[in-house]
Amino acid sequence: MKNLYLIGFLVFTILMISCKKDEVKNTIVNQESTSMYATIDGIDWQAKSTECVLTKSGIRINGVGQGIPAISFLITDTIEGTHMLNINTENIGFLVNGFMQYNTYDDAFANGSVIFSSINMVDSLISGRFEFIGHSAYNNTYSSVNNGVFINLPLTVNLDNLSDSLIVDIDGETFFAESVFSSVENEILSIAGSDEDNTQTVLIKLPYDTPVGTYQFSELGSFTGRYTTDSVWVSQSGVLNITKNNITNKHIEGNFEFDAKEFHTGDIKSFTNGLFTVDYY
């Protein structure tokens, strides 16, 4: 699995470096509002261009500095917190410095971490910290990236170009719907995302003609969320943000978060960083 991630990751990094090499001279970065910077082997480095993408493989962040040093990492999860970089994880840290390439996946001494301190799906921004020791298989040397920070990087969502998709963190564990079903009945749009064997389903209901805007989840109102396994959790509170709804072409996109309650046990589950894009009929 890691090799597949790595191939796509390396290709993306190389393409980004070559495409943006001539652009970085004219890019002005406001370090207080949005930026990415670190030290590479004790030398200050700042990204002149950045790109951050959420895919079904996780979150991929790339930064290219003046003179082409580039720092990239792929984190195969989408939750806030600490994510380790080492030979035993699917996460990857990568440094390109001239013709030298360093990574965290092929040597026991290579290691580090990325901390997502804030993932704001409403405004599509991500912030955090990072550091790692990368290994070069070319000459068996190491390079250290320290004191890394990224602030309010714009986050682009690309769920593998699927027309229908739903993703959400359930109590901190990322849930990717393998199948998404949507329908309209009595002017109510139902969006349901299930796992591969249909043992988990996240369901959102709302009026099909809901305009772009922010709405409140409740237990019995017009906007509800439901989670079904061998039990059922029903939304108690939360926020639904509709970012696009074309009722002519029947396409809707949005993000959401809510807390849901299982009434037999009183158990509460938290649904955060939710995203969906669906065509409905």
> What is the pLDDT tens value at each position of the chain, 281 positions in all?
454 444 455 444 544 544 444 443 333 334 445 699 999 999 999 998 898 988 767 888 988 887 668 898 889 888 889 999 999 998 989 888 877 888 898 889 999 999 999 988 778 899 999 999 999 888 899 999 999 999 999 988 776 545 688 999 999 888 888 888 888 888 999 999 988 888 899 999 999 999 999 999 999 999 999 999 989 999 999 999 999 999 998 899 999 999 999 988 999 999 998 999 898 87
Q: Of the candidates 143, 153, 142, 86, which has an alpha carbon nearest to the alpha carbon of residue 116?
A: 153
Q: Which helix (H) or strand (E) holds 94?
A: strand 92-97
pTM (predicted TM-score)? 0.61
Q: Measured between alpha carbons, how far is 275 from 249 in angstroms, rounded to an integer?
A: 20
- The Cα–Cα gap between 3 and 34 comes to 32
- Asked if 255 and 274 count as a contact pair (C-beta separation under 8 A), the reply is yes
For tokens 């099909």, name the residue. 208
- Give the span between the Cα atoms of 151 and 32, in whole angstroms: 8
Residue whose tokens read 């890019």:
27
Would you tell me how many other CB atoms lie within 10 Å of the CB of residue 210?
A: 17
Give ∠ CA 195-56-17 in degrees, rounded to 5: 175
236, burial (CB in 10 Å: exposed 0-12, middle 13-18, buried 19+): middle
DSSP element (H, E) containing 108:
none
Q: Residue 107, Cβ neighbours under 10 Å: how many?
A: 18
Domain boundary assignment for the chain:
2-157, 165-279
